[in-house]
A = this chain, B = another copy of it.
Amino acid sequence: MSNPNFQRNTVQRQVILEELCRLKSHPTASDLHEIVRKRLPKISLGTVYRNLDLLSRGGQVLKLVSESGEARYDGNSENHYHIRCVECGRVDDLSETSDDPLENKCADLNGYELLGYRLEYIGICPGCQNIKKK
């Protein structure tokens, strides 16, 4: 029987992860596709999506979705905060200067003019807890 979590080490996956980690910015899938294409001219957008999905579900990559629904990816999976530009959608890292991110408003903002923040908790609702127990 085969291991359902088995994954192969493909050149495509390696290059995608390498290029994403090298970038300080947080590209969209299409941005990354353009970048990776410089090294692997034949790689398809579909492959980029498939690998970003695998990597983000594996925790090696972070997927960031904005209010507009646009997805961006972050090769730094360590816990850190982001600031997003409301005008152009650009996303940057924020240096974590204390354990309480909400109090960081005067910390280094990477040149950003701060407007606010979005906070959302993640969990499992009562209904889905029941389904899982069955």
| A residues lining the B interface (CB < 8 Å) | 63-69, 71, 81-88, 90, 92, 94, 100-102, 109-129, 131-132
Contact = CB atoms under 8 A, between A and B. Distances in A.
B65 A122 contact: no
Contact of A119 (B85, B114, B119, B132): B119
Given A69-B65, A116-B121, A127 B83 contact: no
Given A63-B67, A65-B67, A90 B123 contact: no
Contacts of A71: 69
Contacts of A121: 81-84, 94, 109, 112, 114, 116-118
A125 B92 contact: yes
Contacts of A82: 120-121
Contacts of A112: 121, 123-126
- A117, A123, A127 interface centre (most CB from chain B within 10 Å): A123
A129 B67 CA distance: 20
Nearest to A132: B87
Contact of A128 (B68, B87, B129, B132): B87
B120 A115 contact: no
Given A82-B120, A102-B102, A125 B87 contact: yes
B66 A125 contact: no
